[in-house]
Amino acid sequence: GQQVMQIPQYQHVQEGEDFTTYCNSSTTLSNIQWYKQRPGGHPVFLIQLVKSGEVKKQKRLTFQFGEAKKNSSLHITATQTTDVGTYFCAGGSIIFGKGTRLHILP
C-alpha cells in the first residue's frame, strides 16, 4: 500500500537557525498536504501542493512539491519558539507520515 516516509523524526535547532523536513512517497501523489501539531493539540492544516514542481511560501515557511510528485519538503527560515511542534505531511488527506518533531533551543 501507499506509504509516506518523513525524515528526520526529531530535530533540535537553535532559535534563529533554519529547519527542513522531507517527505517521500512510495507512489505518485495527486496532492500533498502539510500540517502542524502543537504539543497537546490537534493537527492544523498549513498548505496543499498539487502541481509538479510547485513552490509555495507562507512568511518564513517554504513548501516544495517534487517534479515527480513523490516527494516534498518544508523549510522554515530563522526558526522561532512559536515554530515548536510536530510537522506532518499527508498524501491526499489519507496517509500521514510519522512527522518531524521540532524542538527549539533558546
- What is the binding site for other proteins (CB under 8 A)? 1, 6, 9, 30-31, 33, 35, 41-45, 48, 88, 90, 92-99
- Measured from the CB atom, is 13 or 46 closer to other proteins? 46
C-beta of 35: minimal distance to other proteins in Å? Answer: 8
In whole angstroms, give the CA distance from residue 66 to residue 84: 25
- Strands, DSSP E only, in 1-105? 4-7, 10-14, 19-25, 32-37, 44-49, 55-58, 61-65, 71-76, 85-91, 95-96, 100-105
Closer to other proteins by CB, 35 or 63: give it. 35
Shortest gap between Cβ of 87 and other proteins (angstroms)?
A: 11
